[in-house]
């Protein structure tokens, strides 16, 4: 008797689990009703859209398209927490019942990512954008474009420019004006950032050194995209002809600079630890020097 009861209970539980999944195709009547909801939304008649959607969800509370539409209505009303709940449920049912859904709408993950991003849930948003891009693939170019654009914007907003660029570029190439605008903003922001962190190089020559050497070095440095102030002539060590290049606090960069200047046929350069400060010259606290002194390094 116990075994029979247990088997019956398991059968009921199994049937209940199976009922959570929609049938392989939404009925034509339901689709027609949901089309009417969509048309009302597109006409900005949100009240009518809600009224038309209510009986659909009452009859089939696990209908993926109906739940997704409910989420979109919440977005229209700026009810983002409610929107996330509806769209998240739609995405969960679609994933769990993939075997019974003939035409899944993977843009649900993009919308879920967007509504999470709006609420500052960036990690969750990133995961869903990536899932949307993977699932959509080439099946829906417009949905893929929007997912790429949204993920690119998320990375851009987080300052992850290198991560953002490929997604924004792909979306822009597919015709997204928003991605095109964000890509331009990224390019401008990257240029400003690069300028702000550009290695600071001070070129000085002693009053005994040939001025032309310093000027040639400045042109080379600028060609290498270093931020170089005007040539300064100072009295360093009497009776020596030397050109001193102060570099920022990155020794590896200083060594790379020395190699670049040597390759540019301006002489033999090497790197020394910074000792002391030159009067009247403002330099970072931690530095390395790239030196050239007529071969007497």
Alpha carbons within 13 A on the beta-carbon side of 205: 16
Query: Do residues 175 and 53 share a domain?
Result: yes
Query: Do residues 157 and 54 share a domain?
Result: yes
pLDDT at residue number 190:
87
Query: Do residues 156 and 54 share a domain?
Result: yes
Query: Do residues 207 and 188 share a domain?
Result: no
Query: Do residues 38 and 185 share a domain?
Result: yes
C-beta separation of 247 from 289 below 8 A: yes
> Is the pTM here over 0.75, yes or no?
no
Q: Which domain holds residue 216?
A: 202-292
C-beta separation of 31 from 38 below 8 A: no
Q: Please state the domain count of the chain.
A: 2
Let me know if residue 170 belongs to a domain: yes
Q: What is the pLDDT of residues 101-153, one digit of tens each?
A: 878 899 999 999 999 999 999 999 999 999 999 999 888 999 999 999 999 99
Query: Do residues 176 and 223 share a domain?
Result: no
With cut-offs at 50, 70 and 90, classify the pLDDT of residue 253: low
Let me know if residue 48 belongs to a domain: yes
Query: Do residues 165 and 38 share a domain?
Result: yes
Q: What is the pLDDT of residues 1-15, one digit of tens each?
A: 444 433 333 333 333
DSSP secondary structure letters along 259-292: HHHHHTTS---EEEE--S--TT----SS-EEEEE
């Amino acid at each position: 008797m116990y075994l029979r009861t247990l088997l019956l209970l398991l059968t009921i539980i199994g049937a209940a689990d199976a009922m959570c999944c929609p049938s392989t195709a939404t009925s034509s009547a339901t689709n027609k009703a949901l089309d009417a909801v969509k048309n009302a939304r597109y006409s900005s008649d949100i009240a009518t859209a809600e009224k038309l959607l209510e009986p659909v969800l009452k009859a089939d509370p696990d209908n993926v398209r109906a739940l997704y539409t409910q989420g979109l209505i919440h977005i229209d009303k700026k009810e983002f927490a409610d929107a996330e709940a509806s769209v998240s449920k739609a995405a969960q049912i679609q994933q769990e019942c993939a075997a019974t859904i003939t035409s899944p709408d993977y843009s649900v993950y993009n919308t879920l990512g967007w509504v999470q991003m709006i609420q500052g849930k960036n990690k969750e948003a990133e995961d869903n954008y990536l899932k949307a891009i993977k699932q959509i693939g080439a099946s829906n170019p417009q949905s893929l474009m929007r997912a790429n654009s949204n993920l690119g914007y998320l990375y851009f907003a987080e300052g992850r420019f290198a991560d953002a660029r490929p997604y924004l570029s792909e979306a822009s190439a597919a015709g997204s004006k928003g991605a095109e605008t964000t890509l331009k903003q990224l390019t401008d922001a990257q240029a400003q950032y690069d300028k702000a962190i550009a290695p600071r190089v001070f070129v000085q020559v002693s009053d005994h050194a040939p001025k032309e050497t310093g000027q040639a070095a400045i042109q080379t440095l600028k060609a290498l995209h270093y931020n170089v102030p005007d040539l300064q002539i100072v009295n360093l060590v009497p009776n020596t002809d030397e050109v001193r290049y102060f570099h920022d606090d990155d020794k590896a960069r200083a060594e790379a600079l020395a190699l670049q200047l040597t390759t540019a046929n301006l002489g033999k350069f090497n790197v020394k630890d910074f000792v002391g400060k030159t009067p009247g010259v403002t330099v970072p606290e931690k530095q390395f020097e790239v030196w050239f002194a007529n071969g007497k390094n």
